[in-house]
Amino acid sequence: MERISDPCIRIGFLVNPIAGMGGRVALKGTDGQFAEAVRRGATPVSTNRATTALRPIRDLPLFFLTCSGEMGENALRESGIKDYRIICQCPSRSSAEDTRRACHDFMNEGVSLILFCGGDGTARDVFSVVEDHIPILGIPSGVKMYSAVFGVNPVACAEIVTHLNEAVLRDSEVVDVDEEAYRRGMLATRIFGFARVPVLPLKTQVGKQIFDEPDEELAKKAIALFFSEILRDDTLYILGAGTTTAEIASNLGIEKTLLGIDVIKGKVLLARDADERTLLSFLSHGEKAKIVVSPLGAQGFIFGRGTQTVSPVVLNQVGVENVIVVATPHKLAETRMLYVDTGDEALDRAFGDSVLVISGYRMGQRKRILHPTTSNQGGPKH
């Protein structure tokens, strides 16, 4: 199990000072919208959120590297932390470029973790620099937090940092939501990549450890092993994005694209990164097919309207009953419900109220499904 085990932990810390400002003035994010947010009367919130996360950890033997002013320094100072060094001077009107520049500097300094405060946009900026080379953890302060890199709340982030040596690193999706489309009420998610995120093993609960595999990698292997047992040579398998489906393929000796949709049959890779047309051409001979998907992002999308999920046409062709959802127990523990929004209401409804998610070797969990017609809002709720 991979962990962070540095005796003197150095943390890169940054705040996106404008994150979370859009929400109260009915903007779905502030990328390129800062002026509009201010015009509508938004005030910065992220420094406060960051301070809430920092206060409980101010007495820990940690050393912070950070940015000047609003981009980090202020929050550290307000929370009473003294062990920090400013390695990046930033202008008061910060931009995505400043975030990326800071992350480059953190990388060069060899920090063990980047703790950032922001939303999906910030996560994307951080990830675009560090990729999976340095673990990252988000203090949630955005309007949109579909990426699975955030603690549940600032205090939960403090908890993770406090117990960093017990935390395990998990591949977690950084999700890119098309903000333009989102502002128009349409959800189009795309996986941007998989960051390494520290998560604490599930809190000890009676019964829990008897089965639930606390090690993410072993849990994925268990799912993959089960899958290899139920694989049928006469069936086409459309594997969605993610590390769990990648493990399923890898266990069959197939290298799958992490972000794309691949097609296999009889343990042979037929198509990588397939688009809708390719999928439909495979299905045109009425072949038996199954779709294997993993819930994505913090909200547990199994089907969204993004470019990298299976389209409603393909889904209709294969049939909802031939969808196999897979996810590790840890992921499921954090994702109380799954979410389907294919853009086709009848199709969404065909999923019913719940779905069986394969979560281990010969094991599943029944999970509730939300779709736009069951939830009163257009989008998923936190």
Partner 1 sequence: MKTKILLDEGEMPRQWYNILPDLPTPLDPPLHPATRKPVTPDDLHAIFPMELIRQEMSPMRHIPIPEEVVEILRLWRPSPLYRAFRLEKALKTPARIYYKYEGVSPPGSHKPNTAVAQAYYNMKEGIERIATETGAGQWGSALAFATCHFDLDCTIYMVRSSYAQKPYRKIMMQVWGAECFPSPSTRTNAGKAILEKHPDTSGSLGIAISEAVEDAATHKNTNYSLGSVLNHVCLHQTVVGQEAKEQLAKEEVYPDVVVGCVGGGSNFAGISFPFAGDKLKGKHKDVDLVAVEPAACPSLTKGVYTYDYGDVAGLTPLLKMYTLGHDFIPPAIHAGGLRYHGASPLVSRLVHDGVMRAVAYHQNEVFEAAQLFARTDGIIIAPETAHALKGTIDEALKCRESGEEKVILFNNSGHGNFDLSAYDAYLQGKLEDYEYPADLIRESLAHLPKGP
**Which residues are near partner 1 by CB under 8 A?**
205-212, 229-230, 232, 324, 329, 332-333, 336, 356, 358, 360-367
Q: Which is nearer to partner 1, 26 or 356 (CB)?
A: 356
Nearest approach in angstroms of CB 262 to partner 1 is 20
> For tokens 């990549």, what's the residue?
193
Nearest approach in angstroms of CB 332 to partner 1 is 7
Nearest approach in angstroms of CB 292 to partner 1 is 11
Nearest approach in angstroms of CB 42 to partner 1 is 34
Q: Which is nearer to partner 1, 74 or 245 (CB)?
A: 245
> For tokens 């908890």, what's the residue?
159
Compute the residue count for the chain.
382
CA torsion, ordered 382, 30, 155, 213, to nearest 10 deg? 50
Q: 314 near 346, Cβ under 8 Å?
A: no
Q: Which is nearer to partner 1, 89 or 209 (CB)?
A: 209
**DSSP-assigned letter for residue 134:** S
> Quick check: helix, strand or coil at residue 125?
helix
Contacts of 97 (CB under 8 A, 6+ apart): none
> For tokens 């502030």, what's the residue?
30
Contacts of 290 (CB under 8 A, 6+ apart): 235, 236, 237, 238, 318, 322, 323, 324
Nearest approach in angstroms of CB 35 to partner 1 is 42
Nearest approach in angstroms of CB 53 to partner 1 is 23
Nearest approach in angstroms of CB 333 to partner 1 is 7
Q: Cβ–Cβ contacts within 10 Å for residue 161, how many? A: 24
Element (H, E) at 183: helix 179-183
Q: 147 near 297, Cβ under 8 Å?
A: yes
The CA-atom distances, in angstroms, between 230 and each of 20, 237, 289, 358 are 45, 12, 13, 12
The CA-atom distances, in angstroms, between 291 and each of 32, 90, 169, 303, 363 are 37, 47, 28, 11, 18
Q: Which is nearer to partner 1, 196 or 330 (CB)?
A: 330
Nearest approach in angstroms of CB 245 to partner 1 is 16
Q: Which is nearer to partner 1, 8 or 210 (CB)?
A: 210
